[in-house]
Chains A and B, each alone.
Chain A
Amino acid sequence: MALSTSRTLLRSFASLSPFARCSNSTSYGDSLWSSEPRAIFKALLQEWKLGFPSLSRALYCSTADFKKNELLELQEVEKVLSDVRADNVKVIPVQKHCAWADFMVIATGRSTWHVKNIAQALIYKVKQKQKGAQRLMLPSVEGQEGGKWIVIDSGKVVVHALDEKARDYYSLESLWTTGTSEKEPIQDLEKALVKIRRKNNSKKQAKKSA
């Protein structure tokens, strides 16, 4: 009984797959394709109980809870960066003010070739991790041609590889460490609504009403 229901649910899952592919973030891990049937069954049962709200999003979230394999973990990133000998590696937890990423890792390369090498090393690490899997989920890489600033987006962890000049120019740490302070200017709106009497500095003599 349970087996037949799981099979029907799996078939409906297969029909859902075109929707799943158009999901917003491609880098939320390969959980759909490599997770076990039991995990899919549990996820679909949850979906079913909720009454099929939004197809792919809930599916991604629920399967990600069961099998936590991200494309790149924080420790692996740190290890790779120390292997490549990147300078000035900084990890910033941005869970509080960024909804789309958990950690930002910034690394500096000594030259454009070095920066490209850091990106290559991280991608190689991801490929190694996924050896033997049917499909390779690679993180998205931006800025590969000009080696000034390369961003590797692997879901929770976003790695920025810059060279010295770009690091000084963009100053990303100051952005994220003081990210919460940017919300404060909203409070000044209350002051803007207060009516202030104009200052009368005119030297004209005031009218003396009889």
Chain B
Amino acid sequence: MAATFASKCSRVGRSLWGGLGNNLSGLLSASHETACNHFLSQQRTFIQMRTVLKVVDNSGAKKVMCIQALKGKKGARLGDTIIASVKEAYPNGKVKKGKVVYGVVVRAAMQRGRCDGSEVKFDDNAVVLVDKQGQPIGTRVFGPVPHELRQKKHVKILSLAGHIA
């Protein structure tokens, strides 16, 4: 799905490559009309305590649950760092279930405004695990990542990513 930036709002769909290609792209475009109304009326908010996020690097974890958003009273947004607990992990990976890790939010369902007036939002909430100094634990990042990471000084994650929205 190509990322198109409209003037007000832009949607970047879930990344289909990476071996998850079970979604039929034909079906999606047909049901887009009916789903569109539902999506437009849903209000997406911040990433806060108890939010489950997907892990999109090869560090070994699959799902983490946010336990603290480091900046922001209401919660974390795209490009922020969070503290999370690993809830699901691959059997032989660098992190195990139950470990407390830091992560950088690379995809968020809540829209984030860019300074030229457009907004960007994704289909899911995804995070890349880092250590306390900001070094990514994994070596590759899957799926699209936004440009906002450059401004937030996460150039390392940008350079490990394959596709930049």
Which A residues contact B (CB, under 8 angstroms)? 19, 22-26, 54-57, 98-100, 104, 140, 142-143, 145-146, 148-149, 151, 153, 158, 160, 169-172, 175, 179, 182, 185-186, 188-189, 192-193
* Residue from B114, B117, B135, B150 in contact with A143 in the complex, judged by beta carbons closer than 8 Å: B135
What are 15 sample pairs from A and B whose C-beta atoms fall under 8 A apart?
A23-B115, A24-B115, A54-B116, A100-B158, A100-B164, A140-B155, A142-B154, A146-B135, A149-B135, A149-B156, A151-B159, A158-B155, A172-B159, A189-B21, A192-B22
Note all chain A residues with C-beta closer than 8 A to B22: 192
CA distance A151 to B163 in the complex (A): 19
Shortest C-beta distance, A141 to chain B (Å), equals: 9
Main secondary structure of the interface of B (DSSP, over half): loop
Classify chain B: how many residues form its interface, as a range: 20 to 34
Of B12-20, B31-39, B40-48, B84-92, which stretch is located at the interface? B12-20
Cα A175 to Cα B114 in complex, Å, equals 28
Selected contact of A175 from candidates B134, B135, B140, B150, CB within 8 Å: B140
B162 contacts across to A, CB distance below 8 A: 175, 179, 182
Question: A179 CA to B158 CA in the complex, in Å?
Answer: 13
Within 8 A of A (CB), among B123-165: 133-135, 139-140, 147-148, 150-151, 153-156, 158-160, 162-164
Chain B residues closer than 8 Å to A146, beta-carbon distance: 133, 135
Closest chain-A Cβ to B14's Cβ sits at a distance in Å of: 13
CA distance in complex: A153, B147 (Å): 14
In the complex, besides A55-B116, A185-B17, 14 extra interface pairs with C-beta distance below 8 angstroms are A24-B147, A24-B150, A25-B150, A54-B117, A56-B116, A104-B159, A142-B134, A142-B153, A143-B133, A143-B135, A146-B133, A148-B133, A170-B139, A182-B162
Q: Which residues on the B side are within 8 Å of A25 (C-beta)?
A: 150-151
- A179's nearest neighbour on chain B, judged by CB, is B162
Q: Does B25 contact A (CB under 8 A)?
A: yes
User: Which of chain A's residues have a CB closer than 8 A to the CB of B139?
Assistant: 169-171
- Min CB distance A176 to B, Å, is 8
Which residues in B have their C-beta under 8 angstroms from that of A99?
164
Tell me, in angstroms, the Cα distance from A197 to B149 when the chains sit together.
46
Q: Known A140-B155, A142-B153, A158-B159; judge A185-B18 contact (CB<8 A).
A: yes
Query: How long is the Cα–Cα vector from A24 to B164 in the complex, in angstroms?
Result: 14
Select from chain A the residue with minimum beta-carbon distance to B17.
A185
- Give Cα distance in the complex from A19 to B76, angstroms: 24
Look across to chain B and name the residue whose beta carbon is closest to the beta carbon of A149: B135
Quick check: A24 and B156 within 8 Å, CB to CB?
no
Tell me, in angstroms, the Cα distance from A179 to B25 when the chains sit together: 25
Closest B residue to A184 by CB, please name it: B17
How near does chain A come to B58, taking the closest CB pair, in angstroms?
11
Q: How many angstroms between the C-alpha atoms of A171 and B159 in the bound complex?
A: 11
Q: Point out the residues of chain B lying under 8 angstroms from A193, CB to CB.
A: 24, 26
User: Using Cβ atoms and an 8 Å threshold, which residues of chain A touch B160?
Assistant: 170, 172, 175
Q: Which of B98-118 contact A (CB under 8 A)?
A: 114-117
Query: Which residue of the partner chain, among A56, A98, A188, contacts B21 with CB atoms under 8 Å?
Result: A188
* CB <8 Å contact, A145 and B133: yes
B69 to nearest A CB, angstroms? 21
Chain A residues lying within 8 Å of B134, measured Cβ to Cβ, are 142-143
Of all chain A residues, the one with the shortest Cβ separation from B142 is A182
Q: How far is the CB of B25 from chain A (nearest CB, A)?
A: 7
